Amino acid sequence: MAEVKKMAEALKAGATMLAEPCPSCSSPLFRFKSGEVRCVSCGAIVKIVGEEKPSEDLGSILQPLERKVVEILAKASKRLEEVESADVEATLALVDRCLSILERIRNIRKASSVKGAD
């Protein structure tokens, strides 16, 4: 019962319960705001190996993708002025797809910046 109380206190303090169990006692691990991963049951401090840091590389991945999509969109826009009516539908489908991708990129950025502000 005391372990559950410690876990509840850790959660109240802003810690996140992880899916990984403690290697010493098999209780859930908690990541504290400091970044430290610790078992509140036995007190073991644990380093998670191979852990990804998703937000750090997100900008470097999205930026070139966004530039490429904008480049494709500009070419498609020019093509609309030059193409025959038979090709207009395919070009408009490409434009629609590019706009959808840009919207998703910007939504991901917005969600990442809001998440980082927490």
Q: The pTM is what? A: 0.48
Give, rounded to a whole angstrom, the gap between the first and last alpha carbons of the chain: 31
Cα separation, 40 vs 104, whole angstroms: 39
Q: What is the pLDDT of residue 61?
A: 78
Q: Quote the percentage of the chain above a pLDDT of 70.
A: 84
pLDDT tens profile 40-88: 999 899 887 765 554 446 777 788 889 999 999 999 888 888 877 778 8
- Judging by DSSP bridges, how do beta strands 37-39 and 16-21 pair with one another? unpaired
With a CB cutoff of 8 Å and minimum separation 6, the contacts of 100 are none
Cα separation, 117 vs 87, whole angstroms: 45
* Residues paired with residue 30 on neighbouring β-strands, in sequence order: 17, 38
Cα–Cα distances in angstroms (integers) from residue 40 to residues 1, 48, 52, 62, in the given order: 13, 16, 23, 38
